[in-house]
Amino acid sequence: MARAERRPVPFEIPANGAVEPLQTVAVQSQVTGVLLQVAFREGDEVAAGQVLFQIDPRPFQAALEQARALLARDLAQAQNAEAEAERYAQLVQQDYVTKQEYDEKRAAAEALKATVQADSAAVANAALNLAWATIRAPIPGRTGRLLVRAGNLVRANSDQLVVINQIHPILVRFAVPESYLPLIQRYRRQRLPVFVSPAQTDSVSGEGVLTFVDNSVDTTTGTVLLKAQFPNRDNALWPGEFVNVRLRLYVEDSALVVPAQAVMSGQQGTYVFVLNADGTVRSQPVTVARGAGAYAVIASGVRPGDEVVTDGQLRLVNGASVEVKGVTEPARELEVNK
């Protein structure tokens, strides 16, 4: 048996959820070349900016040097053309050359100036290709399996090299019935805690906070999508894993509760067996406000201190005489007098 009592009870919304990474990136090469080196082991944790792959840089280094040489040649020609155009500007004022000859020199100088600008862009592009030959992690996270090996030819923007999942922190997505949406919006001003546990157990494996409420209700299921973020420092949550989720909205400080197994259902509704002072039991109709884990929150029907039967109710009838043995708190064993 157990006593009906008042105690703080959280209001929680249960749901089924799925774990997903905070970010996912499929790493690709932005240049084509032969892969020389893989600088990590598959499954490693990597930091943002860490070197992952090295593509043969020699073709890109040669292209950069060639671009720099062309820039130097055209820059010298542009400087000479500019100086000649300035001389012709003075000569045309003295009528030593025609206006047409000056215009031709000025046009040639402007053309070479534009060529220098194009050469500068070519140098920048060649330097960028050389930098891209060293492939770095765009985000921190855990690497998956390697999709290429050293010696493979890697094609630009085509071949995936590895997938990185950011799992610190990590997200859990879950859906709740739309009927809970007003309550969620009401209490969302606070940092609403979310608890998760493996799908087959009730043990809590992580505590996070609600970070996202979708901007629409799914009309096909009548649910709204939510997401919670978890630090996941111990790697207890893994992308793709299914988990049990409990979203806590508030804590009712003085809820009247009885063990959930004490509540029975019949044709007349829900009821409990209450122990009378004379050692008999009576069937007492109750109104259950909500479930709360191992407890049922009672809206009406029993009072604090009432002792309710938690085991063997199927053998009881209204007015049956019982003997309580092995009295312990908070539960006591019950024997039915026949």
**Alpha carbons 322 and 130: distance in angstroms, whole number:** 87
Return the structure tokens found at 12: 């929680």
Q: Determine the pLDDT at residue 338.
A: 40
Q: Determine the pLDDT at residue 201.
A: 66
For 128-185, how does the pLDDT look when each residue is reduced to its tens digit (9 = 90+)?
A: 999 999 999 999 999 999 999 999 999 999 989 999 999 999 999 999 999 999 999 9
Average pLDDT over residues 18-22: 96
| Percent of residues, the chain, with pLDDT higher than 90 | 72
| Third-level CATH fold of 57-132 | Helix Hairpins (1.10.287)
CATH number of the structural domain 2-7+255-336: 2.40.420.20
C-alpha dihedral sign at 64, 70, 76, 81: negative
Q: Determine the pLDDT at residue 256.
A: 94
- Rg over CA atoms, the chain: 38
Identify whether the C-beta of residue 244 lies closer than 8 Å to the C-beta of residue 197: yes
Q: Where are the alpha helices (DSSP H) in the chain?
A: 58-93, 99-132, 181-187
Mean pLDDT of the chain: 90
**Alpha carbons 142 and 67: distance in angstroms, whole number:** 38
Q: Determine the pLDDT at residue 203.
A: 67
Q: Which CATH superfamily is domain 9-22+168-253 in?
A: Efflux pump adaptor protein, beta barrel domain (2.40.30.170)
**How are beta strands 51-55 and 134-136 bridged, if at all?**
antiparallel
Q: Which letter, b or e, does each residue of 303-316 get, where b requires 16 or more Cβ atoms within 10 Å of its Cβ?
A: eeebbbbbeebeeb
**Alpha carbons 213 and 216: distance in angstroms, whole number:** 9
Average pLDDT over residues 318-325: 75
| Percent of residues, the chain, with pLDDT higher than 70 | 94
**Alpha carbons 245 and 231: distance in angstroms, whole number:** 16
Domain boundaries, the chain: 2-7+255-336, 9-22+168-253, 57-132
For 254-294, how does the pLDDT look when each residue is reduced to its tens digit (9 = 90+)?
A: 999 999 999 999 888 999 989 888 888 899 999 999 888 88
Q: Which of 56, 68, 37, 28 is nearest to 130 (CA)?
A: 56
Q: What is the 3-state secondary structure (H, E, C) of 4-52?
A: CEEEEEEEEEEEEEEEEEEEEEEEECCCCEEEEEECCCCCCEECCCCEE
Kindly state the helix (H) or strand (E) to which residue 211 belongs, with its residue range.
Answer: strand 206-213
Question: Is the pLDDT assigned to residue 329 strictly greater than 50?
Answer: no
Q: What Å distances lie between residue 132 and 53, 249, 307, CA to CA?
A: 10, 49, 74
